[in-house]
Structures are given as C-alpha cells and as structure tokens.
Amino acid sequence: MPREEHPEPGGEDRIGQLPPGGERLVIENCAVATVDAEGTEYPSGHLVLAGGLIESLGPGRAPADLPGPMRRIDASGHLATPGLVNTHHHFYQWLTRGLATDHKLFDWLVALYPTWARIDEPMVHAAAGGSLAMMARGGVTTAMDHHYVFPRGTGDLSGAIVRAAGETGVRLTLARGSMDRGESAGGLPPDFAVESLDQALAATEATVDAHHDASFGAMTQIAVAPCSPFSVSTELMREGAELARRKGVRLHTHGSETREEEAFCHELFGMGPTDYFESTGWLGEDVWMAHCVHMNDSDLAAFARTRTGVAHCPSSNARLAAGIARVPDMLAAGIPVGLGVDGTASNESGELHTELRNSLLVNRLGPHREAALTAREALRLATFGGAEVLGRAREIGSLEPGKLADLVLWRMDTLAHSTIADPVSALVLGAPAPVTLSLVGGRPVVEDGRLLGVDEEALARRTRAEAQRLAGLGTA
C-alpha cells in the first residue's frame, strides 16, 4: 500500500481516509493520468484532496506549505487515474452466471427469461452486492444498473439495488427498466415476466421520485429505461421518453445489438432500430444506448447529430457473438462512448477494468486494425467517456480541480507490470492491476484490493445461497 508520511497528531489510522474537519489528503510521487481534455499526464505528480473534491494537482511533490492539518501519502510505484465509470450492467444476472454459454442473444434470452422471472428482493439485493463488489474491487467508482425484470409481489427491487450501492460505497445510476411486450404480443419474455404499460410507467415515476438526486456529487441517480424494441411496446417507448423529460432524468435502452434485432424492427415497425428510436423520441443528448453493434453510416450520423451516447460492451458482445461495434467511427463522428460490463450472465467476470483491454483488442480485429484504439483512448472510454454518457462529466471522469475526488491508485511495481515503462499501457494491456486505494468523494472504498464496507466472504456465501435458491425455483 502507499506509505503514509508524517501523519498529523490525532489523524486517522486508515491509509487515504480523509479525517473530519476539512483536513487535506495529499497523494504524491505517483504517475498521474488526468484524462482531461488535453490528456495531461505527469510521470511523477501529486494530488491534493479536500472536502470530497480535488483541490489541486500537478507535477512533482505537493507544495510543502499547504495550510492546515493534512495527511501525506507516498504513492511511489502507482498510477493515479479517475475512477472507472460503468455505463451498462444488469446486476441481478450475478445469480445466473455460467448458463447458456454457447447461445446467441435471442436464444440466450429465451433460455434465461423463465429463471429471471422468479427473482425476488433478497435475490436482487445479494446479486447487486456481488456485482458492485467485483466492480469496486476493480476500480469502478460509479456503477450503473439496468434492471427491467419486476415479477409481481416480490418486494422493492429498486430499493434493494440502491441499498446495495450504499453499502458498497460507490455512486449509482439505476436505470429503472420495464417490459410490456410478452410472448403473446410477439415479444421474447414470457407473459408472466412483463408489466402492463400503466404499471411500468407508474412504477418508474415512483422510482424517480423516491431515489433520484440531481445535485452535484449525488450518490444515486435514476434513468428511465424500457428494455429493448423486442420486449417493449411502442407506447411504452414514447410515453417513457415523455416521462423522463418531464422528470428531468436520462433515458437508456438496448439498441442495434444483433442482426436479429434489426430484422425484428424491420418486420414489426417497417424500419431499422435507429429510425425507430428517432420516431419514438429516443435520440438526444439525454439518451444513451447499450451495444450499438450493427449501425450503418446513416445511423452513426443520426447519433452524432443528436449527441446520443453509446455504452460499448466488448466482452458481452463477443460472448453472445453479436459482433464488433464501430467504436473508432463513433469517436471520429463525435458520439459520446463509454464502457459497460453488461450483465454477468453474458460476462461472467463482471469487472470493468478488463473491458479496457478488450475494447482495444476487439476493435483492432475490425477494419481499422492497429489504428482502431490506443491505450489512452481505451482509458478515456472507461473514465471521461462514461461520465459523459451518464451526464456527469462536470463532476467525474477526469482528475481536475473542482471535480469530485473519485480516483484510483493502481499498483504498477509488481511482477505483473514492473517491466512496462508506460503505466497507462501497463494498465490497459497488462494483467489486471491491483487496486491499492479507491476513493469516492475522498472516502476510501477499497484498500489493498479489499472492500472496506463489505465482508467479501459473507457476501460470497449469501450470493451462492441465493443463486441456489433461484435455481431450485426454476426446477420446482
């Protein structure tokens, strides 16, 4: 762990923790990748944190004459980056990892919907805890969950997710999803797994009212998120967009994930996914969509014109054989792009830091080859890109004075990385780097690779028990 230097009398014992009373935390002697607009980096630099914010940063050691009591940390051998921002996930799928491993998307959904439709509040709370814990241990400081399965009479599922995020200590964007197009209406989910139009809209609005915080530094925000064109009616898409804009929250859904989805949209709506989204009010700078794999030049132009964002999920896209999203073309067009884990039933590791590497490698298999993405562009996708997609670029995503003190110290002097001179390349292309310290608003969430607010062994036992209970219900 970083070595604490010259602690003030009466200071806290825990490395990195900001003591009460506005005292400063100084981190120095580490490489710093700010991911600001200029891509500023310091081979050896410092950060000064106070009041949950980044007060200052720069090359070399921090000034010796900073006023007031403080704690200094010697972070030699580390790289400091903004905290990672996840832009697409389905936490509940933590309980169904390792199933339907050789399926494409539509077959995978049909195989798993009947099991998912039996989840309840204890299962969702445990699954959210497991998903959040794995992301936080891997450097995520802002997480996102798209939850769209709400079986009747199974408790407060949205509240369970929000509670789990509070226990883990990370920021959360909860996209309150919905489905109202069951099998009898031509959709994929079974009829008993969907809500009615009115139920979905009312419950979504209630979730916004109960949990959304629009203030600077908010720990919880809500988005309106009908699931996908093949599980949602046109009425729910249109009225969901109207609801989101009336409440002043963002909009999220799945889009253009597979060729089968494109064929479905042409058959049902007489147009492709992007044209359908535009016809229902689902393009705009307050919208982001997951996957966006199968998009032509016209689709990209529409996203660029409207500043619609994309959550790129390379591991899930590969796991389900969906294809390779045109991320280099999106970035060249000015489309906001972040990274997503996607649900852990299609990405069993559930760790966003592996998506940095996979985003670079997968996109280099596409037409742009070695020029597709650089290591620094991959890091930007996982930090500032994600913040932009979630509408929080003013607060997080880069290390700049006045922004929230959401940052990660990655250890780069172990055997795994010690011979890679460039720390950003080491982080993106090397083995998963140990997280020595992860801060959210200046508060430590992870130290030396261990969560501070969660008993990992107890959580593992609880998630295993809930997964077994869910599996038993599916065979009952």
365-416 tens-digit pLDDT? 999 999 999 999 999 999 999 999 999 999 999 999 999 999 999 999 999 9
Contact 220, 208 (CB under 8 A): no
Percent of the chain with pLDDT over 70: 95
SS3 260: helix
Q: Is the dihedral of CA 365, 367, 371, 376 positive or negative?
A: negative
Question: How does residue 21 score in pLDDT terms, banded at 50, 70 and 90?
Answer: very low
Question: How does residue 11 score in pLDDT terms, banded at 50, 70 and 90?
Answer: very low
The conformation of residue 193, written as its DSSP 8-state character, comes to G
The conformation of residue 18, written as its DSSP 8-state character, comes to P
Residue 10: other Cβ atoms inside 10 A: 8
Contact 25, 18 (CB under 8 A): yes
Position 4 scores a pLDDT of 57
Mean local confidence (pLDDT), 149-171? 96
Query: Is pLDDT at 215 greater than 80 in this prediction?
Result: yes
CA gap 455, 445 in Å, rounded: 12
Position 220 scores a pLDDT of 98
Contact 213, 205 (CB under 8 A): no
Higher pLDDT, 278 or 101: 278
Contact 243, 254 (CB under 8 A): no
Position 41 scores a pLDDT of 98
How many alpha carbons fall within 13 Å on the CB side of residue 270?
1
CA gap 248, 222 in Å, rounded: 10
